[in-house]
Amino acid sequence: MTLMVTAKLRNLHIAPRKVRLVAELLKGKSAEEAGALLNFTVKRAAGPILKLLQSAIANAKNNFQLDPNNLYISKITVDEGPKMKRWMPRARGSASAIEKKTSHVYLVLDEIDKSLSAVRQKKRLTVSAKASAPAPLSGATADKTAGEEKTPKPGRQELKAEIKKPAAVRGAKKIFRRQVF
């Protein structure tokens, strides 16, 4: 069983919808890769989330003696926090409500399991080998095509190129309507 390290950031004064844009970038990434990504993300929520990630890495290192290079973000959720109610004056003495939204961010780091990653790597290799291998011909079509050489049919683009006249001649007729001597 792997050990999961959590960290939480509460009452962040940024709307959850805006924080989720940054959080979605990090799901499944290694801790190092996520930190580098956050350093170059131009969103206001990137700074607090980077600080949260660094806190989670420090928790893993100091409290559980885990290697920071062997961690990845297994789960990151952004929930609504309390809303602060404010009022804005409007026309004819009325007022409209303004909600200043806050967010709660929960980050879970997990250890990369070496045996699990080896199995995933094998699956990737077999899937890519199947995709690159040519499809076998069935018995009936193999007999017909064995003696004959197939000439490739011209593609749609090649047919269009044969039919169309050169662009310079067509353009000249449209631009200059007088007769050419």
Domain ranges of the chain: 4-86+98-114
Q: Identify the pLDDT of residue 160.
A: 57
**pLDDT tens digit sequence for 81-126:** 999 999 999 999 999 999 999 999 999 999 987 555 445 555 555 6
Could you say which of 3.90.470.10, 3.40.50.300, 1.20.1270.360, 3.40.50.150 is the CATH number of the domain covering 4-86+98-114?
Answer: 3.90.470.10
The residue type of 91 is A
The pTM for the full model equals 0.61
Q: Identify the pLDDT of residue 4.
A: 87
Q: Identify the pLDDT of residue 3.
A: 78
Report percent pLDDT > 90 for the chain.
57
**Which pair of tokens denotes residue 40?**
């170059």
**Which pair of tokens denotes residue 56?**
């989670």
Q: Identify the pLDDT of residue 117.
A: 45
How high is the mean pLDDT of the chain? 80
**pLDDT tens digit sequence for 124-139:** 556 555 555 555 555 5
Q: Are 7 and 113 in contact (CB under 8 A)?
A: no
Q: Identify the pLDDT of residue 9.
A: 97
